């Protein structure tokens, strides 16, 4: 029998599994397929609550954002667990993540809760505020920067990225940036994943590096499309970096996301290295009174455990479904949105006053207490069931940027609850 069985292998589930293993538990993890984590941009959003043009918040510290989010959004996990506990759990989760990603060369960039978010350039040109990001991404801070266009690359428009980033730097960040596009002959016409796989071949990486070196003399940094290798990303990035002799920064990705796929793969490697037993999809749950006794694998196998962590994501990953109403998929738990419980035929709960905010349905997930136990009508659903990540409801991931912070914090707290 396992001590903990985690359902879901995205960032939240992996964090919970690694935390439980670090505490010496026997851990299994069920994963159906890749979910939102494999689509993520490369940024690690911990907390950013945007202000207004008259009252911008880019200079506010990350912990200041956590306090602001917790104070203004009662159902947000940071409010449910309390800002101080959230901060500690995020820090512990980031430490786990850093050591998990170290072998893959993705170790997140250092961050401090007392520092503000940094501007990371995205493949669409926006300077996105983030607390940290996977190693190949970097904040754009100043100096003369080259933004690279590969021949035939229709997924990354360097002219647009450079222009938009300079504009965003001036209007949103108060920075005068100098970013110029440079054109390479290197063939970038493959889709992003294919291009990254081609650049796993170090011969191709050297070809790119030598052409780049010839055209970027005198710059202080180079922005590249996020395609610098997949399986051999560490070597590919080092090859290009060594050739040009200045920081090479991959832009954050849009879909399909090479950084997201790298992250998901690296998390899988970390699970195996930590000795977590991997099982496939689970399709049913066996409960007895106030406890979950076992889950059922797709092949009919019975998987008993002392405690369970539900980290099955939201709509994208199938953790939350909308059929006869909106519900959590495996246990049939009711869902809550940022605006409260979803009431049938109640349009006030699915319409928001501020159109910039996420649609309430995009915040639908299970309601939890401070130990991450799902609660139903004010009572703990099952004494040995805990939830982590996007399956937890009541918060938006895209307006108040916080999703990876929530995944890390709730993953750590859920694992500790499961072992208590
Ligand atoms: C397009 C996109 C881009 C994003 N980019 C960022 C970003 O750059 N930075 C950021 O901080 N956040 C980003 N997010 C938010 C992101 O979703 C979270 O930060 C985090 O990755 C979510 O992790 P998770 O583990 O909760 O969910 P997921 O990664 O969705 O994982 C849930 C897993 O559960 C599995 N599962 C579900 N049901 C079962 C079952 N019955 N049996 C077995 N397995 C099951 C799924 O297959 C899936 O693998 C992005 C989200 C999206 C959709």
Q: Ligand 1, residue 405: give the atom nearest the CA.
A: 11
Q: What local confidence, expressed as pLDDT, does residue 343 receive?
A: 67
CB 57 within 8 A of CB 50: yes
Strand partners, 394: none
Q: From the CA atom positions of the chain, what is the Rg in Å?
A: 22
**pLDDT beyond 60 at 347:** no
What is the number of other CB atoms lying within 10 angstroms of the CB of residue 389?
37
| Ligand 1: centre distance to CA 341 (Å) | 22
At 56, the pLDDT band (50, 70, 90 cuts) reads confident
Say yes or no: CB of residue 117 within 6 Å of ligand 1.
no
% of the chain at pLDDT higher than 70:
98
Q: What local confidence, expressed as pLDDT, does residue 266 receive?
A: 98
* CA-to-CA separations, 50 to 61, 209, 363, 398, in angstroms, rounded: 12, 38, 17, 11
Q: Ligand 1, residue 391: give the atom nearest the CA.
A: 26
The answer to whether the pTM exceeds 0.95 is: yes
Interval 230-257 mean pLDDT: 96
What tokens does 327 get? 């519900």
**pLDDT beyond 90 at 78:** yes
CB 318 within 8 A of CB 298: no
Fold of 18-103+262-334+351-419: FAD/NAD(P)-binding domain (3.50.50)
What tokens does 178 get? 């100098």
pLDDT greater at residue 141 or residue 349: 141
| Ligand 1: centre distance to CA 407 (Å) | 9
Fold of 138-251: Rossmann fold (3.40.50)
% of the chain at pLDDT higher than 90:
89
Closest to 255 in 3D by CA, of 316, 169, 212? 316
pLDDT greater at residue 181 or residue 400: 181
Q: What local confidence, expressed as pLDDT, does residue 354 receive?
A: 82
CA–CA gap between residue 3 and residue 307 (Å, rounded) = 6
| Ligand 1: centre distance to CA 333 (Å) | 19
Say yes or no: CB of residue 36 within 6 Å of ligand 1.
yes
**pLDDT beyond 90 at 128:** yes
Q: What local confidence, expressed as pLDDT, does residue 410 receive?
A: 98
CA–CA gap between residue 234 and residue 381 (Å, rounded) = 44
- Mean pLDDT (the chain) is 95
Say yes or no: CB of residue 257 within 6 Å of ligand 1.
no
What tokens does 251 get? 């832009």
| Ligand 1: centre distance to CA 87 (Å) | 21
**pLDDT beyond 60 at 156:** yes
CA–CA gap between residue 105 and residue 134 (Å, rounded) = 9
Say yes or no: CB of residue 411 within 6 Å of ligand 1.
no
**pLDDT beyond 70 at 313:** yes
Say yes or no: CB of residue 44 within 6 Å of ligand 1.
yes
Interval 6-17 mean pLDDT: 98
Q: What local confidence, expressed as pLDDT, does residue 418 receive?
A: 98
**pLDDT beyond 80 at 368:** yes
pLDDT digit string, tens, across residues 15-48: 999 999 999 999 999 999 999 999 999 999 999 9
Q: What local confidence, expressed as pLDDT, does residue 344 receive?
A: 61
Total H helices, total E strands in the chain: 10, 21
Backbone angles phi, psi at 133, to 5 degrees: -160, 165
Q: Say which DSSP state 173 is in.
A: S
Q: What local confidence, expressed as pLDDT, does residue 389 receive?
A: 98
| Ligand 1: centre distance to CA 71 (Å) | 26
Q: What local confidence, expressed as pLDDT, does residue 161 receive?
A: 98
Could you tell me the residue ranges of all domains in the chain?
Answer: 18-103+262-334+351-419, 138-251
CA–CA gap between residue 116 and residue 46 (Å, rounded) = 11
Decide: residue 394, CB within 10 A, 0-12 exposed, 13-18 middle, 19+ buried.
buried
The SS3 assignment for 116 reads strand
What is the number of other CB atoms lying within 10 angstroms of the CB of residue 180?
15
**pLDDT beyond 80 at 350:** no
Q: What local confidence, expressed as pLDDT, does residue 349 receive?
A: 65
pLDDT digit string, tens, across residues 159-213: 999 999 999 999 999 999 999 999 999 999 999 999 999 999 999 999 999 999 9
**pLDDT beyond 80 at 399:** yes
């Amino acid at each position: 029998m396992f001590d903990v069985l985690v359902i879901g292998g995205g960032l939240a589930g992996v964090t919970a599994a690694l935390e439980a293993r670090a505490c010496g538990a026997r851990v299994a993890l069920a994963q159906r397929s890749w979910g939102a984590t494999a689509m993520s941009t490369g940024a690690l959003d911990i907390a950013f609550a945007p202000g207004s043009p008259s009252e911008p918040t880019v200079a506010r510290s990350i912990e200041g954002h956590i306090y602001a989010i917790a104070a203004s959004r009662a159902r947000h996990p940071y409010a449910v667990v309390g800002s101080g506990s959230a901060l500690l759990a995020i820090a512990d989760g980031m430490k786990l993540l850093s050591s998990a990603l170290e072998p893959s060369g993705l170790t997140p960039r250092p961050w401090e809760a007392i520092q503000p978010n940094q501007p990371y350039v995205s493949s669409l040109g926006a300077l996105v505020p983030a607390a940290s990001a996977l190693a190949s991404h970097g904040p754009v801070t100043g100096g003369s920067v080259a933004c690279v266009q590969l021949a035939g690359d229709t997924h990354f428009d360097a002219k647009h990225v450079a222009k938009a980033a300079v504009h965003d730097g001036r209007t949103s960040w108060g920075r005068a940036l100098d970013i110029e596009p440079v054109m390479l002959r290197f063939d970038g016409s493959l889709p992003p994943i294919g291009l990254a796989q081609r650049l796993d071949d170090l011969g191709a990486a050297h070809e790119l590096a030598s052409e780049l070196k010839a055209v970027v003399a005198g710059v202080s940094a180079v922005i590249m499309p996020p395609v610098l290798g997949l399986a051999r990303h560490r070597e590919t990035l080092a090859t290009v970096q060594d050739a040009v002799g200045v920081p090479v920064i991959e832009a954050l990705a849009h879909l399909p996301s090479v950084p997201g796929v790298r992250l998901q793969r690296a998390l899988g490697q970390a699970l195996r290295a930590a000795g977590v037993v991997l099982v496939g999809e689970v399709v049913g749950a066996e409960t007895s009174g106030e406890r979950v006794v076992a889950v059922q694998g797709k092949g009919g196998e019975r998987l008993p455990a002392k405690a369970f962590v539900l980290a099955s994501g939201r709509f994208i990953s199938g953790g939350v479904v909308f059929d006869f109403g909106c519900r959590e998929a495996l246990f049939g738990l009711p869902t809550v949105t940022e605006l409260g419980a979803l009431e049938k035929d109640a349009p006030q709960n699915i319409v928001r006053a501020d159109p910039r905010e996420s649609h309430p349905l995009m915040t639908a997930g299970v309601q939890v207490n401070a130990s991450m136990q799902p609660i139903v009508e004010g009572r703990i659903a099952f004494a040995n069931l805990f939830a982590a990540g996007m399956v937890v409801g009541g918060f938006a991931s895209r307006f108040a940027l916080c999703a990876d912070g929530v995944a890390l914090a709730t993953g750590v707290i859920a694992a500790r609850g499961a072992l208590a």
